[in-house]
Amino acid sequence: MAFAERRRDRQAERCFVRLVSGSALALSMLAPQMAWAGPLGDAAASAEIQATEGDAAGARATIQTAIGEFSANLPLAIARAAFVSGEPSGYAMYDPRPNHDFAQGESLISYVEPVGLSWVSSPQAGKLETHFTVDFDILDPQGKVLAGQKAFGDFRFVSFQRNQEIYATLTIDVAGAPAGDYVLRFRFNDANSDKTAIIEQPFSITATAEPALSPPPQAPTPETTTTPTQP
């Protein structure tokens, strides 16, 4: 009898282990579905159906709309900021500088991508618009503000959808600043809400080498002549 009871106990233990394992497996199978719950997940599912049915343009539009609505509710943030060597030709189409060292008199050109901008109805029928301003400060390494300007950049974009590929090109003239280390700080202000975002870019100004002085001109060497003597 004791052996039979122990056998039943072991069978119950094995059954319990199988039940626990089965529950864990079920949870692991549900986890991806739980992670996709919400508007983005619904949009992704709809887009997959559209793509399967051959409607690639519709699938793309569904995803774009969902991402636009999702992004508009995010806090304002800076996705990317870089010093660039010249005017960008488009979104993510820029040439980054190899370093943050600038010669005296050289302008600072920054490429900045904000995310989380708010969109409102535009006066133009059927369109939306986003609007933001940019303040800047130049600080020393200890955080003291040396120069700055409020709303020196003012950007407005009007579109039929909530575009996500938005960037700002910001040029700062630091002519006359002495050589040294500095910090360029931008503050982005969403004009349609109270959202703000700050990004800082350290940089250095290197002294311009003085041109080498030319040696003074040499005095002309006087010519000498000899008169032949008679024998």
**Which CATH number does the domain housing residue 132 bear?**
2.60.40.2550
Whether residue 160 lies inside any domain: the answer is: yes
Assess whether 80 and 66 both reside in one domain. no
Both 16 and 29 in one domain: the answer is yes
Res. 84: pLDDT tops 70: yes
229 within some domain:
no
Query: What integer best gives the mean pLDDT of the chain?
Result: 83
Within-domain flag for 165: yes
Same domain, 123 and 58: no
pLDDT band (50, 70, 90) for residue 97:
very high
Query: How many other C-beta atoms can be found within 10 angstroms of the C-beta atom of residue 32?
Result: 9
Q: Answer yes or no: is pLDDT of 15 > 50.
A: no
Examine the domain organization and report whether 99 and 193 are in the same domain: yes
Number of independent structural domains in the chain: 2
Q: Kindly tell me if the per-residue pLDDT of 63 is higher than 80.
A: yes
Whether residues 102 and 55 share a domain: the answer is: no
The pLDDT assigned to 31 comes to 40
Burial 70-84 (b: 16+ CB within 10 A, else e): bbbeeebebeebbbb
Residue 188 in domain? yes
Does pLDDT of 102 surpass 70? Answer: yes
Same domain as 198, residue 85: yes
Minimum mean pLDDT among 83-92, 101-110, 212-221: which range? 212-221
Query: Does residue 231 lie in a domain region?
Result: no
pLDDT at 208: 76
- Same domain flag for 84 and 198: yes
Same domain, 88 and 35: no
pLDDT of residue 222: 58
Residues 21 and 128 in one domain: no
Segments forming the whole domain that contains residue 38:
2-71
Residues 95 and 197 sit within 8 Å (Cβ to Cβ): no
Q: Which amino acid is at 160?
A: F
